Structure 1
């Protein structure tokens, strides 16, 4: 496919400064001028049709805001009706923010015309700043398409006020943090009724350093979960006499982990995973793991925003100490295991997919294994028709940590500890069909918040 860029519109030499694009939407004429009304309606319907496709829950992707700010294009609800498919994908950036890739995919009369622009955000950027930066980028990318529509004569390009910024080369910037990014999180939640109370505490710390050659992630986390149930107990001698007994269920866990990855080629990466911690739910008083890993991407990593097909192999050594003797009669053990993960990600104009197949087993006994298939598929199969599927299924044979002592009814009902199982699954299937007007882009936020009663009776609202 042929590609083109907007920069031919700006005769500014080698340095490109921020540009503001402005176009006037045809105003609604007076009722007394039907010929003018018909002309305006013709121009409006012949304006550029744009389909917005924000995949992966892109932060700041606010369609209502874009409709209000970019009124000189027609925003359609189906990609099959569009002249330009605006596909937005995102990846984590080394500074903790996101790299947003905006693909302008021409369709119909613009078939074969493609452009790509990139927006970088910071981790603490407000959503309003992100969506305004997206608006500016949309204006730039849509300009060459609009230039070939009936409203081209109304299009104006101008430099933003102020002097043009100088191009900055990140390699020449002295970073006093040496590309390290740190984060501290703490969470407290509590809820309760007359007979049930729940308290959850969690905290996490992380440090990450990302360059083109190295990726280092360090982290630690802890959690405390307490549930208090009030149970009525009846006196067998006097049935009319009842007492209340408090049943408290505690679940505590903590972990530390480190990941170090080294870029070898445009497709191959080598790394090392280290982790340690404890978990009452998993019957693990001590859990430690050391695992070298190697990853290969069939496609170049430069195409990661659109497609990936990766193979990840890990060979690890694990040491466990248990709270209770396991079903295999172990109080502690050291075991090796290996795993292979095959994963594919596609973000295309027909939809997006993310599928993975992972298998692992312990080296001392291949019968102790785990096989998991998981992912989601979101397809736009035709005009107004969509199909999406999310789920996972696992065959479980590797629960060597299960405690051997008999489970009480309380432990089973409250899931205080991990229960033995041969399989796990979850699934969701959705089908949607939308039909009607493709031109109605009116934004009306009235009755947008209906409170608790609105949610209870199915009216939505926040």
Structure 2
């Protein structure tokens, strides 16, 4: 185990000259108050422009059900040309307390490089915990990278004139290695709504089931090939049964290992499937075989100034190319200056492929309760926000009272 950096300084005493750090943690797994409390030998500032060091922490899920944390130590001022990156892996079985303690250890290891020549280093100690390296190298995974997950929940709500009951359940199995990715998941959902109005009682049921299988082979640092299969039924979507299978090829401009920092990918997917409908559709179909092709592109950059991501997804049925859909979604978080930042997000869908819409009019109850999919030619959503803060540049004190 690598050495651990600890502080011999009491947290109530002002530390000797140290560095100003901007903590930029972009994951809900970060307990920033805990970090500031347990690592008191640096100054925490509220804006990256005031910092000697920008600590950017991002995360992504791993094949074992855990998380991979990437810690980027980006120097500023006298450390402008200095940067370091550390990676920490947490297991799915780790508790939140174990994760935050281990993450703090990695933060301290990365900080020591920048603190070594400053007066504060005189108050730091390095502890070494010996381990049996031979045992570590011979560790055997008895599960061979397989991870299984079961989830179930029940929701019961009510008042005098309205009652709602729902059940959800899903089971998932996955095995992810550098060469292969295998995921299988089944889901079940049932909802019952009951309304009492004078002497009238109305009951509405919604139910859906699905099973998904995904298999992906890593070809190179930039290419992946895979296949998937789906089974689905849904009262809302007028599907007694949807069964399909697809093949896909994906190209990544940047190596996949740089996913936490930057990503530009292009995917082509060809799908063949069968739809069996609960009710005859607006196109007069009770069932049909379909062939579909899809193009998708993902772009994402996570940088000290913020984050940008966009996705473009286009698909069309080969029997009739006029039955198609184009969806684009973008989001920008941008720190303009010191405490001023903005975010903009938007989504637009051009919809021409709603083949399962049932014939006949939708009732008021089905419309208000969203019990049945409705015909539309487009959908959109736009969000905009900003934040501005000013005052002391420091953010060292932790006070959990009340």
* TM-score category of the 2 structures, normalised to the smaller one: over 0.9
Indicate the residue corresponding to 1:204 in structure 2. 170
Q: Given the superposition, is the C-alpha separation of residues 223 and 437 from structure 1 closer, same or farther in structure 2, using an over 3 Å criterion? A: same
Q: CA deviation at 1:204?
A: 0.4
Indicate the residue corresponding to 1:258 in structure 2. 213
Pick from 219, 222, 233: which aligns with 1:278? 233
Are positions 1:226 and 2:192 aligned together?
A: yes
Contact 1:58–1:89 under 8 Å retained in 2: no
Secondary structure of 1:389's partner?
Answer: strand
Contact 1:147–1:155 under 8 Å retained in 2: no
Contact 2:162–2:196 under 8 Å retained in 1: yes
Q: How many residues align?
A: 402
State the alpha-carbon separation in 2 of the partners of residues 440 and 181 from structure 1: 40
State the alpha-carbon separation in 2 of the partners of residues 168 and 296 from structure 1: 39
Q: Which has the higher contact order (CA 8 A, sep 6+)?
A: 2
- Residue deviations 1:362-420 (CA, integer Å, cap 9, x gap): 11111111111113221111110111123311111110100012222222222211011
- Residue deviations 1:37-67 (CA, integer Å, cap 9, x gap): xxx6xx66x4211111111x241x1111111
Indicate the residue corresponding to 1:118 in structure 2. 87
Indicate the residue corresponding to 2:338 in structure 1. 383
Indicate the residue corresponding to 2:18 in structure 1. 47
Secondary structure of 2:92's partner?
Answer: coil
Q: Given the superposition, is the C-alpha separation of residues 167 and 110 from structure 1 closer, same or farther in structure 2, using an over 3 Å criterion? A: farther
Indicate the residue corresponding to 1:133 in structure 2. 102
**Structure 2 gaps, min length 5:** none
- Residue deviations 1:415-445 (CA, integer Å, cap 9, x gap): 2110111111223211011100112422222
Indicate the residue corresponding to 2:117 in structure 1. 148
Contact 1:47–1:73 under 8 Å retained in 2: yes
Contact 1:297–1:311 under 8 Å retained in 2: yes
**Structure 1 gaps, min length 5:** 1-15, 29-39, 232-242, 448-462
State the alpha-carbon separation in 2 of the partners of residues 210 and 75 from structure 1: 38
Q: CA deviation at 1:79?
A: 1.1
Superposition RMSD in Å: 1.7
Contact 1:23–1:72 under 8 Å retained in 2: no
State the alpha-carbon separation in 2 of the partners of residues 290 and 405 from structure 1: 30
Are positions 1:374 and 2:332 aligned together?
A: no
- Higher Rg: 1
Indicate the residue corresponding to 1:21 in structure 2. 6
Pick from 180, 184, 190: which aligns with 1:214? 180
TM-score normalised by structure 2 residue count: 0.96
State the alpha-carbon separation in 2 of the partners of residues 195 and 84 from structure 1: 58
State the alpha-carbon separation in 1 of the partners of residues 334 and 195 from structure 2: 44
Q: CA deviation at 1:195?
A: 1.6
Q: Given the superposition, is the C-alpha separation of residues 298 and 440 from structure 1 closer, same or farther in structure 2, using an over 3 Å criterion? A: closer
Contact 2:342–2:387 under 8 Å retained in 1: yes
Q: CA deviation at 1:244?
A: 2.7
Matches within 5 A, 1:229-248: 229-231=195-197, 243-248=198-203
Secondary structure of 2:199's partner?
Answer: strand
Indicate the residue corresponding to 2:320 in structure 1. 365
Contact 2:68–2:88 under 8 Å retained in 1: yes
